[in-house]
């Protein structure tokens, strides 16, 4: 049996990194797998959130996912806090995970920065909640961007230790699915930083809601180097900004990186950038239009989430019962 699970935080706009790194693979996998996708509001409150903005963000992210191609009739789509199993299973798994394992998580180190003592406990235990998300559905495949790789390795370690400790084979070990030419989309302003919702500069990312003009402007101003594009992959070494833009072109046009370089090698960014902006607008404009048509229809969005939560509970509650039995809470 195979099942897909993945999640996204409802903070800020869906950006091109989320879309190309993860969401596009979610959309594709709906056709071939039993899929569960989650707007992870429990994860969002590990850092300070304005309650009104979070409430709006949950609906907006739901609308953005549907606009990107998720079909609530063909997948389970819900928000995490509506299914209590996530929090309850996370508690059990927090007693499986080891302090040392969590202490090695690079995302905690990055997000807590210099103020580790002032970070929430939730930010530290966040990867255990992420493991619970996945294991509550006995998911076998988890489509994510490159930045989630370490969290998925931890989820495997937790699943294996739980099975070993309890003498069961309750949890399958989930496989990360990190696929495509854009598994790590970088900032448009700095080829060494990933494109992120939390980057203070909006010019660093392409949002799903950006107009065609805004996209063209951001690509025009994207940081590059003065050299022409190379004609093979080796020529991208040490040129992170060029590598990022070429990867984006490949992902958006459905070509390999090699094919993009064969076409553009020797040409300058002055010619390449407008073509890249056009490819981006062509991919995003229909999504933006669907998003705008849906985002204010709260009744429809709420009904989709409620139905998704019901379907999610039907899968996850029996798994929680099995976990409770395995640790000795029930017969
Ligand atoms: P989040 O909300 O930060 O990102 C959602 C998805 O987008 C991918 N992504 C990127 N991919 C390529 N390039 C980028 N610049 C980029 N930025 C983000 C992420 O890898 C992710 O797949 N902890 C997770 C959410 C989560 C989850 C889960 C994921 C909670 N529970 C269980 C999988 C399974 C997160 O914060 O993703």
pLDDT tens-digit series, residues 319-328: 999 999 999 9
Alpha-carbon span 235 to 252, nearest angstrom: 21
Average of pLDDT values for 290-314? 98
Asked if 142 and 152 count as a contact pair (C-beta separation under 8 A), the reply is: yes
Average of pLDDT values for 33-51? 97
H or E element in which residue 108 lies: helix 106-112
In short, whether 22's Cβ falls inside 6 Å of ligand 1 is yes
Domain boundaries, given as residue ranges, for the chain: 3-183+297-327, 202-292
Average of pLDDT values for 34-42? 98
Return the structure tokens found at 34. 């039993």
Which of 310, 294, 301 lies closest to 59 in space, CA to CA?
301
Q: Which residue has the tokens 């379907």?
A: 311
In short, whether 187's Cβ falls inside 6 Å of ligand 1 is no
Asked if 247 and 234 count as a contact pair (C-beta separation under 8 A), the reply is: no
Other beta carbons less than 10 A from residue 328's beta carbon: 8
**CA 4 to mean position of chain CA atoms:** 13
State the burial class of residue 101 (Cβ atoms within 10 Å of its Cβ: 0-12, 13-18, 19+): middle
Its pTM stands at: 0.97
In short, whether 133's Cβ falls inside 6 Å of ligand 1 is yes
Nearest CA to ligand 1 atom 4: 8
Alpha-carbon span 324 to 331, nearest angstrom: 9
| Cβ-Cβ contacts under 8 Å for 72 (sequence gap 6 or more) | 66, 304, 307, 308
Alpha-carbon span 69 to 86, nearest angstrom: 25
Instruction: Classify 170 as helix, strand or coil.
Output: coil
Average of pLDDT values for 12-26? 95
pLDDT tops 80 at residue 138: yes
| Cβ-Cβ contacts under 8 Å for 61 (sequence gap 6 or more) | 8, 9, 10, 14, 39
pLDDT tops 80 at residue 166: yes
Average of pLDDT values for 116-121? 96
Asked if 141 and 4 count as a contact pair (C-beta separation under 8 A), the reply is: yes
Residue 22 Cα: closest atom of ligand 1: 22
Q: What is the pLDDT of residue 116?
A: 93
Measured in Å, residue 167 CA sits from the centre of ligand 1 at: 32
Percent of the chain with pLDDT over 70: 100
Q: What is the pLDDT of residue 303?
A: 98
pLDDT band at 304 (very low <50, low <70, confident <90, very high): very high
Other beta carbons less than 10 A from residue 306's beta carbon: 12
How do residues 45-55 score in pLDDT, each as one tens digit?
999 999 999 99
pLDDT tops 90 at residue 109: yes
Which of 34, 128, 3, 84 lies closest to 313 in space, CA to CA?
84
Instruction: Classify 38 as helix, strand or coil.
Output: strand
User: Cα angle vertex 160, ends 102, 149, to 5°?
Assistant: 50
Q: What is the pLDDT of residue 12?
A: 84
Residue 151 Cα: closest atom of ligand 1: 23
pLDDT tops 90 at residue 198: no
Q: Across all residues in the chain, what is the average pLDDT?
A: 97
pLDDT band at 1 (very low <50, low <70, confident <90, very high): confident
pLDDT band at 205 (very low <50, low <70, confident <90, very high): very high
Alpha-carbon span 160 to 38, nearest angstrom: 23
**Superfamily of chain region 3-183+297-327:** HUPs (3.40.50.620)
In short, whether 304's Cβ falls inside 6 Å of ligand 1 is no
**CA 128 to mean position of chain CA atoms:** 16
Of 3.40.50.12780, 3.40.50.11740, 1.10.240.10, 1.20.120.520, the CATH number of 202-292 is: 1.10.240.10
User: Counting every residue, how long is the chain?
Assistant: 331
Q: What is the pLDDT of residue 130?
A: 98
pLDDT band at 13 (very low <50, low <70, confident <90, very high): confident
Asked if 125 and 102 count as a contact pair (C-beta separation under 8 A), the reply is: yes
Alpha-carbon span 125 to 45, nearest angstrom: 12
Alpha-carbon span 157 to 159, nearest angstrom: 6
Residue 18 Cα: closest atom of ligand 1: 7
Q: What is the pLDDT of residue 293?
A: 97
In short, whether 195's Cβ falls inside 6 Å of ligand 1 is yes
């Amino acid at each position: 049996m195979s099942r897909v699970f993945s999640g996204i935080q409802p903070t800020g706009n869906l950006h091109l990194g989320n879309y190309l790194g993860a969401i596009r693979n979610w959309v594709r996998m709906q056709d071939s797998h039993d899929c569960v996708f989650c707007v992870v509001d429990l994860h969002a409150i590990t850092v300070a959130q304005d309650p009104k903005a979070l409430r709006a963000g949950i609906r907006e992210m739901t609308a953005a996912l549907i606009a990107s191609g998720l079909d609530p009739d063909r997948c389970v789509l819900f928000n995490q806090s509506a299914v209590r199993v996530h929090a309850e299973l996370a508690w059990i798994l927090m007693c499986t995970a080891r302090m040392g394992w969590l202490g090695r998580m690079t995302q905690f180190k990055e997000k807590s920065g210099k103020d580790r003592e002032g970070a929430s406990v939730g930010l530290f235990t966040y990867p255990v909640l992420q493991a619970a998300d996945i294991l509550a559905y006995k998911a076998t495949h988890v489509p994510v961007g490159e930045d989630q790789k370490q969290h998925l390795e931890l989820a495997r370690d937790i699943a294996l230790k739980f099975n070993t400790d309890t003498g069961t084979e309750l949890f399958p070990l989930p496989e990360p699915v990190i696929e495509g030419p854009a598994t790590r989309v970088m900032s448009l302003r700095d080829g060494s930083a990933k494109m992120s919702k939390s980057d203070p500069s909006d010019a660093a990312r392409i949002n799903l809601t950006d107009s065609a003009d805004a996209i063209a402007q951001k690509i025009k101003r994207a940081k590059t180097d003065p050299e022409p594009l190379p004609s093979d992959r080796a020529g991208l070494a040490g040129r992170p900004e060029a590598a990022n833009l070429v990867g984006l072109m490949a992902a958006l046009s459905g070509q390999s990186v090699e094919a993009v370089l064969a076409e553009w090698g020797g040409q300058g960014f002055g010619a390449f950038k407008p073509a890249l902006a056009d490819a981006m607008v062509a991919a995003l404009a229909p999504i933006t239009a669907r998003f705008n048509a849906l985002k204010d229809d709260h009744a429809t969005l709420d009904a989709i989430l409620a139905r998704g939560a019901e379907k999610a509970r039907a899968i996850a509650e029996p798994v929680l019962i099995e976990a409770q039995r395995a640790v000795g809470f029930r017969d």
